[in-house]
């Protein structure tokens, strides 16, 4: 071993062979990982947009993802030019986050839309309950909801009715509705309609019961939000203070903090700081998040 280390003629070929073998063995995993993090993200973003019934050119989605990832990464790299190492580090981080962030944003928008559907079910099911008592069918009461309301719930009911016009049964259309909007209240509605259509029963009273359940759950959620509001604000302040102070120092005395961006030890310190801030913010979010 000592002979190999002291003999560079043999050390470099052995090192090159080890690197080649390692790269060859890991290349399929690396390629699959990069594919899932790139094209897989694009596929998920497109699926969410399809669920939201947004008609957008898929080539534009790809271009937007490339601009928010590689475009921003190259811009950050050029800002650090001619310092290659910090430019590569921060440019790579921005590229990765730029590719992941649109998926997170779309998931957040989709979750808010699903919550809006549940919120509108209180008024929607009240209209349907009154329609059932008046002798209308479930499909006819959905039409009344579409005529009297605006928002994601009428859009979902329009989709259900359109599928029924194309030959799909009401039960199957409702099951697809449940699979799209995965919420307990939607599942209660779909299960109640499908079971009562087979066994018989008072749909109007069932809808009123579901409305009462949704209202009680909303009251509990509002109480939890009020109780955790202070924790949310504290987490936001604690996470943002270091970055605000860094910006203030850059404006007041740039030479005081420039070693963070110009020295290797500063880059390590900056990376550790960002990692700890992200970890702390994540832990605070997990603590204050209460599922009902």
Percentage of the chain lying above the pLDDT 90 cut: 0
The per-residue pLDDT for 4 is 43
Interval 54-63 mean pLDDT: 73
The per-residue pLDDT for 5 is 46
Instruction: State the Cα–Cα distance between residues 152 and 213, nearest whole angstrom.
Output: 20
Which pLDDT band holds residue 64 (cuts at 50, 70, 90)?
confident
Is the model's pLDDT at 190 over the cut of 70? Answer: yes
Instruction: State the Cα–Cα distance between residues 197 and 277, nearest whole angstrom.
Output: 54
Instruction: State the Cα–Cα distance between residues 237 and 210, nearest whole angstrom.
Output: 39
pLDDT tens, 73-87? 778 777 777 776 667
How is the chain split into domains, by residue range? 118-221, 227-292
> Are 128 and 141 contacting, i.e. CB atoms less than 8 angstroms apart?
yes
The per-residue pLDDT for 196 is 81
Is the model's pLDDT at 186 over the cut of 80? Answer: yes
Burial label, 121 (beta-carbon count in 10 A; 0-12, 13-18, 19+)? buried
Mean predicted lDDT score pLDDT of the chain: 77
Which pLDDT band holds residue 12 (cuts at 50, 70, 90)?
low
DSSP state, residue 181: S
pLDDT tens, 205-214? 888 888 888 8
101-105, 144-148, 180-184, 270-274: range with highest mean pLDDT: 144-148
Helix axes 84-133, 58-66, angle to 10 degrees: 140
Interval 170-195 mean pLDDT: 86
Can you give the pTM of this predicted structure? 0.69
Interval 10-37 mean pLDDT: 55
| Rounded alpha-carbon distances, angstroms, from residue 89 to 74, 86, 92, 221, 278 | 11, 5, 5, 42, 17
What kind of architecture, by CATH, is found in domain 118-221? Up-down Bundle (1.20)
């Amino acid at each position: 071993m000592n002979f190999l280390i002291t003999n560079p003629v043999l050390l470099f070929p052995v090192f090159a062979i080890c690197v080649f073998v390692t790269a060859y063995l890991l290349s399929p995993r690396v390629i699959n990982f990069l594919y899932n993090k790139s094209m897989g993200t694009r596929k998920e973003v497109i699926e969410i947009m399809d669920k939201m019934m947004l008609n957008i050119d898929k080539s534009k989605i790809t271009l937007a993802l490339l601009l928010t990832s590689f475009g921003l990464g190259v811009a950050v790299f050029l800002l650090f030019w001619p310092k290659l190492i910090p430019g590569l580090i921060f440019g790579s981080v921005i590229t990765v986050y730029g590719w992941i962030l649109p998926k997170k944003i779309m998931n957040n928008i989709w979750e808010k839309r699903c919550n809006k559907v549940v919120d509108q079910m209180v008024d929607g099911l009240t209209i349907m309950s009154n329609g059932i008592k008046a002798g209308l069918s479930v499909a006819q009461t959905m039409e009344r909801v579409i005529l009297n309301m605006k928002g994601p719930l009428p859009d979902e009911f329009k989709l259900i009715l359109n599928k029924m016009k194309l030959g799909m049964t009401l039960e199957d259309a409702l099951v697809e509705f449940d699979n799209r909007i995965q919420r307990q209240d939607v599942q209660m509605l779909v299960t109640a309609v499908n079971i009562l259509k087979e066994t018989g029963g008072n749909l109007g009273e069932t809808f009123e019961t579901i409305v009462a359940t949704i209202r009680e759950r909303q009251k509990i959620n509002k109480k939890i939000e009020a109780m955790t509001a202070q924790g949310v604000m504290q987490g936001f302040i604690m996470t943002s203070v270091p970055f605000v102070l860094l910006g203030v120092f850059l404006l007041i005395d740039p030479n005081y903090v420039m070693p963070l961006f110009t020295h290797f030890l500063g880059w390590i310190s900056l990376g550790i700081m960002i990692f700890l801030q992200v970890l702390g913010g994540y832990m605070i979010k997990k603590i204050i998040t209460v599922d009902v």
